[in-house]
A and B are shown apart, each in its own frame.
Chain A
Amino acid sequence: MSTDSIALPMVDEESRPLVDRLHDWVTTVDHKRLGILYILYALFFLVVGGIEATVMRIQLIRPHNDFVSPQVFNRMFTMHGTTMIFFVVMPVMFGFANYLIPLMIGARDMAFPRLNAFSFWLSAFGGILLYFSLVGANGLYGAGNAPDVGWFAYAPLTAQTFSRGHSTDFWTLALLVSGFGSIGTAINILTSILCLRCPGMKLGKMPLLAWLNLVMAGLVLLAIGPLTAAQIMLCLDRYLGAHFFDTQAGGSAVIWMHFFWIFGHPEVYILVIPAFAFVSEIVPVFSRKAMFGYPIMVAATVAIGFLSMTVWAHHMFTVGMSSNANTFFVLSTMAIGVPTGIKIFNWLATMWGGKIHFQTPMLFCIAFLFQFLIAGLTGIMMSAAPFDWQLGNSYFVVAHFHYVIVGGILCALFGAFYYWFPKMTGRMYNETLGKLQFWLFVLGFHLTFDFMHIPGLLGMPRRIYTYEPGRGWDNWNLIVTVGALVQGVSILIFVGNLLWSRFKGKTAGSDPWDAWTLEWTTSSPPPVYNFATIPTVRSRRPLWDLKHPEDPDWKYE
């Protein structure tokens, strides 16, 4: 039997000056600390983005409301979208990936720890740059501050003529900078997974979380480039008189849309595939069964990755593309529903015949399955282009993608938080509060996003700061706003639970869930070196093999 742990010099953490401890955090290259930094950063911006959403919902609670001016409202939806996608979901996914991947593949750290730190600080700086626009963007008198061009910044609204001052430039530069950070992290994830797996962990033996983050990293490498390119072109247009999107000079507004959505669609898969990863780790453990159809899950995810690069113009069905082009994108978009559906079936099959435990992580994964199913189906509705000619750019679309991101991704994230919180902090969260948060969140979510579909079906377009009475939208908007407030309360409970449990929660052992992957072999929290001895594995569930030596997985895989 090898040594259990490595003796480190005894240092009393609490007695070190706060400045030194903060300095350690700022200069860290340890994947676990960087992971936590990413996650805390994302949580902060989750609250900021949530406030922006609440402002919008209050403005829309009744027609012709005057809670905020149109200028402020337009900044709100731009900042809300940009913040949530680039400074909440992407960082939190990178954070979990950073924290978990080395632990799950039996490595001591990511492949490039310094690049890891650099990428984090670059991404973090991007977020700060975006919000600096609130003070820094007044290029011309009265030209406004935060960007107000929508998170996809369609040309020619972003041209100097229509966007005076520097607000659009803050949007562009913030995303350019954080884009480079994302590429750095993706390189790190890809290299770590391909090059640092412990002995015996062939690609077919690594946890699904590793596989799915590998696909996500590949997508980041392919998708961020187009956004970077388009933003460079926009900067050249705005400052050097280039004509990429200058329709007066023969340029094309549509080509911005193509370039943006060639990034934008894979981007949403970049957001959701790590969520799939969480569900793929949690559902088996809480069903007490191995993942059903592991090879198919891998194949389906790779297929989704490739297909996601072929569907982008379903965001452009109303733009006036030829009927052949429209038809192609209908086909590719419907096709991507097939591997996605296969994944849902495999998760159900994993639960089938199992013994389902309903702790908070699993509750959120079950909610994920329900809500992601609906989200996928409304997506299929919009993939039928003529139906999209009615539904597109309306509140139906807004309801659809929030169903994916909040009902799907955020719920999977909550599951992940509760599941790995004991590992990261060494303490259990409060289960009662967790369940309370869950039910409150589900209630608020459905109040808001179920009923949000209806104004879309009744003709309400998106990105409007107010609406006319007498169109049948009033009551639905009221219900939607109430649900948002309920979700807000739920998030507060969530944050409170995490904070309280961090300091006062019951001690969690190394393996509170009786799980099967390598991260549960270390102490909670893991030592800085992760593993005293690099493990050797023989199956996809090394801990199962140890706990069931009479019936190990490698006999069946």
Chain B
Amino acid sequence: MSATPITMRQPELKWGLPSRGHVAMFALIIAESAIFVIFVVAYLFYLGKSLTGPTPKQVLEVPIFYTICLLSSSLTIHFSVQALRRGNVATFKAWWFATIVLGAAFLYGTAHEWYRLIYHDGLTISTNLFGTTYYSLVGLHGFHVIVGLICLSAVMAFTLLGDVQQKHAYRIDVLSIYWHFVDAVWVVVFTVVYIIGR
């Protein structure tokens, strides 16, 4: 079967296009942000509208420490990717592990806070509008942290098996963008829930 040849005789064309991984990850982030925006809007809309039950001011404690953990994990993942780009797999491994630890610490903090809220303050998702919007927004974010940690752990496993090398830096970088997104969402959620909402 023949195909009409298209190449025209002309000098070598300089042709650069953005890389697939970054574009796709940004596209995914746009889609995820759209979901988060709606939960944030619901949270803000329902502020002060609960008919009963504990109010944010009564029960929320600002999770400064765990927030610092999560935000620092963005720094550590950045160092990690930088190290891998330079070919320094050992440094990469260390910073990557630190990222996972910090992320897990954040999750622990959320779990701890929820335990207190449920068992000591009597706030559940069905208590009132505040409970509904709080657990769903913080929970949605927490879910994304879990997904991120699963991906990070998978990479950790591959690294420990010796399969991750400098040439994979690009893919690891794309994954780190997801992690930065999770952190950025936390900045928004934190502001809305613990600053504006209290």
Contacts and interface: CB of A to CB of B under 8 A. Distances in A.
B128 A232 contact: no
Contacts of B15: 199-200
Contacts of B162: none
Contact of B42 (A4, A188, A255, A527): A255
Contact of A538 (B8, B34, B49, B140): B8
B31 A183 contact: yes
A508 interface: no
A521 B132 contact: no
A142 interface: no
A195 B5 contact: no
B10 A521 contact: no
A250 B50 contact: yes
A221 B3 contact: no
A283 interface: no
A537 interface: yes
A518 interface: yes
Contacts of A250: 46, 49-51, 128-129
B32 interface: yes
Given A196-B17, A521-B6, A221 B126 contact: no
Contact of B24 (A111, A232, A518, A527): A111
Interface stretch (A78-86, A223-231, A328-336, A460-468): A223-231
A543 B4 contact: yes
B17 A532 contact: no
Given A195-B20, A252-B45, A538-B8, A4 B2 contact: yes
A533 interface: yes
Contacts of B35: 225-226, 228-229, 232
Interface string A241-285: 111100001111001000100100000000000000000000000
A10 B154 CA distance: 41
A218 B37 CA distance: 16
A187 B24 contact: yes
B188 to A, nearest CB: 15
A199 B126 contact: no
A546 B4 contact: yes
A521 B42 contact: no
A229 B126 contact: no
Contacts of B196: none
Interface in B82-135: 124-126, 128-129, 132-133
A59 to B, nearest CB: 37
Interface string A185-197: 0111011001111
Contacts of B18: 194-195
B30 interface: yes
Nearest to A217: B27
Nearest to B13: A199
B7 A535 contact: yes
Contact of A195 (B17, B30, B31, B32): B17
Given A221-B34, A225-B32, A225-B33, A190 B3 contact: no
Contact of A521 (B4, B23, B46, B126): B4
B56 to A, nearest CB: 15
Interface residues of B, number: 44
A191 B38 contact: no
A533 B8 CA distance: 12
Contacts of B45: 252, 255
Interface in A294-348: none
A220 B28 CA distance: 11
A186 B30 CA distance: 11
A222 B38 CA distance: 11
A225 B6 contact: no
Nearest to A194: B23
Contact of A191 (B6, B24, B33, B34): B24
A532 B3 contact: yes
Contacts of A1: 5
A221 B129 contact: no
B38 A249 contact: no
Interface in B32-74: 32-39, 42, 45-46, 49-51
A186 B24 CA distance: 10
Nearest to B15: A199
Contacts of B4: 510-511, 521, 543, 546
Given A187-B31, A221-B30, A197 B129 contact: no
Given A195-B23, A226-B35, A542 B6 contact: yes
Contacts of A112: 20, 24
A531 interface: yes
B195 interface: no
A544 B136 CA distance: 56
B1 interface: yes
Contacts of A532: 3
Contacts of B126: 240-243
A223 B37 CA distance: 11
A199 B35 CA distance: 36
B125 A242 contact: yes
Contacts of A535: 6-7
Given A195-B18, A232-B136, A225 B7 contact: no
17 contacts: A4-B5, A195-B19, A221-B34, A225-B33, A225-B38, A232-B140, A233-B136, A241-B125, A243-B129, A244-B132, A244-B133, A249-B51, A249-B128, A250-B46, A533-B7, A535-B6, A546-B4
Given A220-B31, A229-B42, A244-B136, 13 more contacts: A4-B3, A5-B2, A111-B24, A195-B20, A196-B17, A218-B30, A221-B34, A225-B32, A229-B36, A236-B132, A242-B136, A536-B13, A537-B6
Interface of B: 1-8, 10, 13, 15, 17-20, 23-24, 27-28, 30-39, 42, 45-46, 49-51, 124-126, 128-129, 132-133, 136, 140
10 nearest A-B residue pairs (beta carbon): A225-B34, A241-B126, A535-B6, A523-B1, A229-B38, A225-B35, A199-B15, A242-B132, A521-B4, A221-B31
